[in-house]
Amino acid sequence: MNLVQHRRNGSNWIIRVGLALLLTLTAGLPAGSAEEAVSEIRIADGRGDWGQPNPYLHYPRGSGYVRMSWVFDTLVWKGEDGFQPALARSWVFDSEMQAFVFELQPEARWHDGEPVTAEDVAFTIELFREHPYYWIRLDDVSHAEVMDTHRVAIHLHRPYAPFIPDIGGTMPIMPAHIWREVEDPNTFTGPAAFIGSGPYRFVDFDPVQSSYLYEAFPDYYLGEPKAGRLVYLRAGQAIAALRNREVDLASIRPEMVEPLQRQGFEIVQDERGWNKKLMINHRKAPFDERAFRQALAHAIDRQAIIDRSQRGFGRPASFGLLSPDHDLYSPDTPDYAHDPERALELLRQLGYGPGPDGFLQKDGEPLEVELLVSNITAGGQTAADRDGEVIKAQLERLGIRTDLVNLEQGSTDTRIREWNFDLAVSGHGGIAGDARILNEMISSAHGAGSVNSARFDAHPELNRLLDAQLRAMDPEERRGIVAQIQHLHAEELPAIPLYYPDAFAAFNPDSGVRWFYTPGGIAKGIPIPQNKVSLFP
């Protein structure tokens, strides 16, 4: 059953008359607080279905995680000013114990009224170790020690620098009294599967309408959330949904910024936290040659892609993968200027020369590549673009015959995962979050589950550095290592970062809720302006 109620325009006049009377009666009273409760907040989403909101049922992309984050809280949480208390009101790293010690909020309750305890935290570690959750890796965690009802120590096998962003601020804490009895979490779909300790209770997901309904949890330990109900609606045309007041928040195209601003909507812009990139099948010839990948980097004019495909709304990406907005970004990362001559020279060194049809060939074999493209969902908005057309034109100008294939995003993801591709345009966030994203997006040891991971293990030094940055608890030491990783990534190019599209969202300020893009992204680095902090009282 779809519990989402739609506004009825037919009764608008009754509401208006009522409001007018109310305004007349209250005109002499002092102004109310800006923090007044809102009955309902509606968020638009271009795709709609991101799975059900628990760790085992949501789709493994940022929007799926955010759907879950309303229901399940983590130990700490990233707000506008960095990490802030969530289920843990304080935390400290004890270097002697090699453990993070968390003191939990004594008022925290599960949605069924049970208290949240240190046992739950310890159980969550066990649960995710036994039944892995895609977003969390616990290789470096030794065990969790319950120190008392509200104090828990998470011991590490070895130093782990990204612990707070990667585990403390991302791992949802699960209720032991429910999940202890569950044999297979992947098939557990009953109402109890959605009992969390977050600010909202999950009420309904309508797979036909792709709408989600959440209700505020009045006993939330940080106070009752601002909005009584939270609704996600699938909306193909975000601007129309905003203008018609069907939704309060939507990701928008850059061209919508001005018209919506004129109509009183507030606009927020993301940092460079999401990048389009060219996935390369470096396990097969000719892409297994570093020089070939470098030739591609010289052949592709990224500014032209931004100009033609994004109408100028974007910025070229760093070849080192980490966002220039990141604290650990290295400005010394090598760059590849658009230089078709240099690209041809590299290809000539690899034995390629022009064939009778003008296209490149080697030993009589034509150089043909297949380029996969999809309508990628970024920030809750699925948008078609012309990246593929522009890249194809650029490669063909160089002499590389290119077969452009448009597939549904899931099909492209599957083909990339199975190494059944040459080149593919993909994209991901997280690049302004913790630098551990480099491990996930480069190495198969860390990112084998991610469709955007290059899974590049051919460079032992790069892999050594990736491991070393995780152990560097000294920030300056880590900065140096991360700079080297960016340098090597740019040299090796297991994938080619293309550009950061300008990302905007618009919201209705009359709703009393102020939305923002989280610096560094939500949790591990999700660049979506739907941080639950916005609805905290």
Partner 1 sequence: MGARFDPAAGLGRRLLADPWFVTGASLSLFLVLLVVLSPWLSPHDPHDMGYAAFAPPSADHWLGVNDGGMDIFAELLAGLRNTLAFGLVTASAGLAIGILVGLASAWFRGVVDQVLMRVADLLLAIPAVMILILLASFYRPSPWVLALVLASLAWPTSARLIRSQALGLRTRPHIAAARQMGGSSAYIIGRHMMPELFPLYLIAFASKVRMAVFMEASLSFLGLFDPTRKSLGRMISDALPFYYLDVWWHWLLPPIVLLTLLIMAFTFLAVSLERFFDPRLRAAWAD
* Contact set with partner 1 (CB under 8 A): 237, 239-240, 253, 255-256, 259, 307-309, 311-312, 373, 375, 383-384, 386, 388-390, 392-393, 404-408, 411
How near is the Cβ of 386 to partner 1 at its closest, in Å? 4
CB 388, min distance to partner 1, A: 6
* Inter-residue contact 529 to 378 (CB < 8 Å): no
Q: Please report how close the Cβ of residue 369 comes to partner 1 at its closest, in angstroms.
A: 15
- Supply 333's token pair: 């990362």
Q: Which is nearer to partner 1, 5 or 263 (CB)?
A: 263
Which is closer to partner 1, CB of 269 or CB of 411? 411
Helix (H) or strand (E) holding 268: strand 266-269
**Residues in CB range of 469: below 8 A, 6 or more apart:** 161, 435, 436, 438, 439, 478, 481, 482, 485
Residue type, 76: V
Residue 243, C-beta contacts closer than 8 angstroms, at least 6 positions apart: 260, 263
Rounded to a whole number of angstroms, the minimum distance from the CB of residue 247 to partner 1 is 15
- Are residues 272 and 433 in contact, defined by beta-carbon separation less than 8 angstroms? no
Least Å distance, CB 404 to partner 1, is 6
Q: Which is nearer to partner 1, 391 or 442 (CB)?
A: 391
310: left (phi over 0), alpha (psi -120 to 50) or beta: alpha
CA angle at 408 for the pair 402 and 411, rounded to the nearest 5°: 85
Strands (E), 97-239: 99-104, 141-148, 151-156, 200-206, 211-216, 227-234
Q: Residue 437 and residue 497: Cα distance in Å, rounded?
A: 14
Q: Which is nearer to partner 1, 189 or 237 (CB)?
A: 237
Q: How far is the CB of 415 from partner 1 (least distance, A)?
A: 12
Q: Is the CB of 191 or the CB of 410 nearer to partner 1?
A: 410
Cβ 267 to partner 1 shortest distance, Å? 15
How far is CA 445 from each of CA 119, 216, 220, 438, 453, rounded to the nearest angstrom?
30, 39, 38, 12, 10
Question: For partner 1, which is the closer residue by CB, 346 or 416?
Answer: 416
- Helix residue ranges per DSSP H, 142-271: 163, 176-179, 238-243, 257-262
Closest to partner 1 by CB, 106 or 312: 312
Give the nearest distance from C-beta 389 to partner 1 in angstroms: 6
From the CB of 80, what's the least distance to partner 1, in Å?
30
How many Å apart are CA 105 and CA 118, to the nearest integer?
A: 10
The CA R_g of the chain, rounded to the nearest whole Å, is: 25
Strands (E) across 7-81 are located at 38-45, 76-79
Q: Which is nearer to partner 1, 37 or 384 (CB)?
A: 384
Q: Which is nearer to partner 1, 38 or 425 (CB)?
A: 425
